[in-house]
């Protein structure tokens, strides 16, 4: 299996597992928590059929990647993405971040710029700043994240079952847009992740990405379900366009968090339409207000 080494912990290397298929302009897929690159099952064939090179990797601690006891902050994760981009020498790429993966995309662009990137996509992303504060009243109460951490620490397998039920809005879509087997597959992938990494990622969700978003100088597509129980649309996707220079917001009516599966046709159609649009040279831009 192909790996990229991004660090070391004691006697072992920290290796990221990746898959690299197809030809054409690269599309880099960054998965959400607590899953792996397997979660892009519905998107990879559509992108390959449309003539794109598709790169999907597993975040450290998840999937087939190494499971170190550190590095679950967004600066490190953006550095990991940077290593993927440079090791594979990817240019004119589209970065697609789902949920937590949206944070990698935003922090990467905020830190390393868009030299290698042509456009970006945020799907069910945790941006711009999830924590409710005095200057971020639209955010989510801190107690919600405390409950996540308590649930993971107390009984991670049981927590994952509850989480995935809300991830797919199983009470609404079971037997229709999502099967019991899909939920079971997701549980198996999530349960195999690093317990430490699963827990330590949660505080990273409180990262403030507002400045990162303001710095983005490539076209952005935002796709979010308005029935998302994990990352509420009003606190996230709805707010992203106000902070980026050039963006398009697609709201999927009734869509849960896991729209890449439950509403794959719509997600793929919007993604491919966005990829097919001409990218014009960036124009000088005055920063958006907060």
Each residue's pLDDT tens digit, 234-286? 999 999 999 999 999 999 999 999 999 999 999 999 999 999 986 655 444 34
**What is residue 98's predicted lDDT score, i.e. its pLDDT?**
98
pLDDT digits (tens, 9 = 90+) for 145-190: 999 999 999 999 999 999 999 999 999 999 999 999 999 999 999 9
Q: Which helix (H) or strand (E) holds 223?
A: strand 220-225
122, 237 contact by CB (below 8 A): yes
Given 99, 124, 186, 194, the catalytic residue: 99
Residue from 15, 200, 212, 228 carrying the catalytic annotation = 228
Is residue 224 part of the annotated active site? The answer reads: no
37 carries an active-site annotation: no
Say how far apart CA 74 and CA 102 lie, in whole Å.
Answer: 10
82 is catalytic: no
**pTM given for the model:** 0.95
| Distance in Å from the first CA to the final CA of the chain | 44
Q: How far is CA 140 from CA 81, 144, 162, 228, in A?
A: 27, 7, 19, 13
Give the CATH number of domain 3-275; options: 3.90.1310.10, 1.10.8.60, 3.40.50.1820, 3.50.50.100: 3.40.50.1820
Judging by beta carbons within 10 Å of its beta carbon (0-12, 13-18, 19+), is residue 125 exposed, middle or buried?
buried
* Catalytic-labelled residue, pool 200, 212, 236, 257: 257
Give mean pLDDT, residues 105-110: 98
Residue of 199, 186, 31, 188 lying closest to 100 (CA atoms): 31
Phi-psi domain of 92 (left: phi exceeds 0; alpha: psi -120 through 50; beta: other): left
Q: Which class for 130: exposed (0-12), middle (13-18), buried (19 or more C-beta within 10 A)?
A: buried
């Amino acid at each position: 299996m192909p790996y990229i080494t991004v660090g070391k912990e004691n006697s072992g290397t920290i290796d990221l597992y990746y898959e690299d298929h197809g030809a054409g302009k690269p599309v880099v897929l960054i998965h959400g928590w607590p899953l792996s690159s397997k979660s892009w099952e519905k998107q990879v064939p559509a992108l390959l059929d449309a003539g794109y090179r598709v790169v999907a990797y597993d975040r450290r601690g998840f999937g087939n990647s190494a499971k170190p006891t550190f590095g679950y902050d967004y600066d490190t994760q953006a550095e990991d993405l940077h290593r993927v981009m440079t090791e594979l020498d990817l240019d004119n790429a589209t970065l697609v971040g789902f949920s937590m993966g949206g944070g990698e995309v935003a922090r990467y662009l905020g830190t390393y710029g868009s030299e290698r990137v042509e456009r970006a996509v945020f799907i069910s992303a945790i941006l711009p700043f999830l924590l409710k504060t005095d200057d971020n009243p639209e955010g989510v109460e801190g107690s919600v994240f405390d409950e996540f951490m308590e649930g993971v620490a107390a009984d991670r397998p049981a927590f994952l079952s509850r989480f995935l039920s809300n991830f797919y809005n199983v009470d609404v879509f079971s037997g229709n847009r999502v099967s019991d087997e899909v939920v079971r597959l997701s549980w198996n992938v999530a349960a195999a992740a690093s317990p430490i990494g699963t827990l330590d990622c949660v505080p990273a969700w409180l990262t403030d990405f507002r400045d990162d978003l303001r710095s983005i100088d490539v076209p952005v597509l935002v796709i979010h379900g308005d029935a998302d129980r994990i990352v509420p649309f009003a606190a996230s996707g709805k707010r992203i366009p106000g902070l980026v220079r050039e963006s398009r917001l697609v709201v999927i009516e009734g869509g849960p968090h896991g729209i890449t599966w439950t509403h794959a046709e719509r997600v793929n159609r919007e993604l491919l339409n966005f990829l097919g649009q001409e990218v014009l040279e960036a124009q000088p831009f005055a920063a958006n207000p907060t």
